[in-house]
Amino acid sequence: MAFLVSLPMFSQEKGSGPVSKQERSVENFKAIKIGGAAEIILMQGKEQSVVVETNANIQDRVEVNVSNNTLAVKLNNIKKYDVLKLYITAVKIERIQLSGAAELRAADTISGGNLQLVASGASDIEMLVDYNNIVTKASGASVVRLDGKSASHTIEVSGASEVKAKSLLTTTTIVKASGASSCFVNAKTNLTYQVSGASDVSYVGKPQTVIVENNKGTEKVVILRDSTRTSSYYNYSDTTSVNVGSLNLEVIEGNDTTKVSIGGHTLIVDDDGNVKFKRNKKLKFNGHWGGFELGINGYVTPDFNTNWGAEYDYLNLRYEKSIAVNLNIYEQNIALNKDKNIGLITGVGFSWVNYRFNPPTYLEPTSPTLEG
């Protein structure tokens, strides 16, 4: 018994030779969905158009179509190419979705009512915008850079993605960050953010209200009329820590106590309702200069011997009586690094040094030589 299996074979074309531009006829669209390693230049105009720039021998394998108001580009059995650029002009843009290694740059300001940006893989979006509302979702290792203005901006970042929107002026911004992602925003009135993992959120400007939520959205820290410029938030199983400029607010929930640290002070509340207020000690460099020292004085021969022999017996010391006393009453420490473990030290102190000879001996400084 024999079986015959037939599999379709598709040859892959390699882009080579001269590069050409070809304009494609497309219907009206409001969304863009592109993957692969394409470079997209986005423009806004009165009529929609698409121009494909790539090797002339693979132009017919670059398929451009519009379905459900979404412009999509498909590469049919193309192995590789020298260049693939898409010049896209849209009348109205409401959604952009990029994946793979696609890159999109806006040639000028793109404006409208609502805009949704979705970036995944290693895609890259850079736009100058003027919208009422923007929703950004970034994952993988994607990067989204936004300039311009928008009344509101809702952001969701995960993986190792980045959203760089510090030059996008907004009234209200909401951020949800996870993984190792990072987000930099600019909110004028309201900023709400939630982070988990190793992610971080930073902001510029002076929002009137900053709301920091834990990763479950069940607990909030509200900061009113904040005057700082940057903020980072970290959440662990039993500890919530918020750093806003030089102000640190930390809540630690233990089995029987709750600690709230604000700046240099800590408020401790136990289960019985007892409240204890204490001041936190700041980390500082301590060179250990100040204090009291008690020691023994001595000296040795050129051969590093403490016994001077019969000839110089008068120089032998009574070590139990040869006492050194140091009293350092003032200490000044100067730290040289942020960890406070390297620094310089100086101070003021007094020293009493006494040498007591074994035989009764008195020395007079009457000659340059010592005799006895």
Average pLDDT of the residues in 261-272: 59
Q: Of the residues 71, 94, 117, which one is the last residue of a structural domain? A: 94
Higher pLDDT, 313 or 118: 118
Please say if the pLDDT value at position 121 is more than 90.
Answer: yes
Query: Is residue 361 very low, low, confident or very high in pLDDT (cuts 50, 70, 90)?
Result: confident
Average pLDDT of the residues in 177-186: 93
Q: Per the domain annotation, does 22 fall within a domain?
A: yes
From residue 119, how far is each of 101, 127, 162, 180, 288 by CA, in Å? 10, 13, 10, 16, 55
Q: Per the domain annotation, does 70 fall within a domain?
A: yes
Same domain membership, residue 257 and residue 232: no
Identify the CA nearest to 354 among candidates 309, 295, 266, 273. Answer: 295
Q: Of the residues 191, 222, 245, which one is the last residue of a structural domain? A: 245
pLDDT at residue number 233: 41
- Number of compact structural domains in the chain: 4
Same domain membership, residue 235 and residue 251: no
Q: What's the burial of 137, exposed, middle or buried (CB within 10 Å: 0-12/13-18/19+)?
A: buried
Same domain membership, residue 205 and residue 119: yes
Domain containing residue 229: CATH number: 2.160.20.120
Same domain membership, residue 129 and residue 117: yes
pLDDT in tens, 274-304: 556 666 667 777 877 778 888 888 888 888 8
Pairing relationship of beta strands 95-98 and 110-119 according to DSSP bridges: parallel
Same domain membership, residue 231 and residue 115: yes
Which token pair is 61?
Answer: 């394998």
Identify the CA nearest to 225 among candidates 208, 243, 246. Answer: 208
Cα 74 from chain centre: 37
Same domain membership, residue 265 and residue 311: no
Q: Per the domain annotation, does 86 fall within a domain?
A: yes
pLDDT at residue number 224: 52
pLDDT at residue number 53: 94
What SS3 state is found at 69?
coil
What SS3 state is found at 133?
strand
pLDDT in tens, 85-106: 999 999 999 999 999 999 999 9
Sign for the pseudo-dihedral over CA of 165, 167, 168, 174: positive
Pairing relationship of beta strands 323-335 and 343-353 according to DSSP bridges: antiparallel
- pTM flag (> 0.75): no
Mean of per-residue pLDDT scores for the chain: 81
Q: Of the residues 245, 270, 299, which one is the last residue of a structural domain? A: 245
Which token pair is 203?
Answer: 């902001």
Same domain membership, residue 116 and residue 73: no
Output helix, strand, coil percentages for the chain, rounded to the nearest 5: 0, 55, 40
Q: Per the domain annotation, does 295 fall within a domain?
A: yes
Which residue segment(s) compose the domain that 31 sits in? 18-94
Is residue 306 within 8 A of residue 312, CB to CB? The reply is no
Same domain membership, residue 44 and residue 64: yes
Q: Per the domain annotation, does 102 fall within a domain?
A: no
Q: Per the domain annotation, does 364 fall within a domain?
A: no
Same domain membership, residue 223 and residue 164: yes
Number of H helices, E strands in the chain: 0, 28
Same domain membership, residue 251 and residue 229: no
Query: Is residue 306 very low, low, confident or very high in pLDDT (cuts 50, 70, 90)?
Result: confident
Q: Per the domain annotation, does 365 fall within a domain?
A: no
Same domain membership, residue 225 and residue 252: no
Q: Per the domain annotation, does 104 fall within a domain?
A: no
What SS3 state is found at 152?
strand
Task: Give the H/E segment covering residue 275.
Answer: strand 275-279
Same domain membership, residue 81 and residue 59: yes
Please state, in angstroms and rounded to a whole number, the distance separating the CA atoms of residues 22 and 81.
16
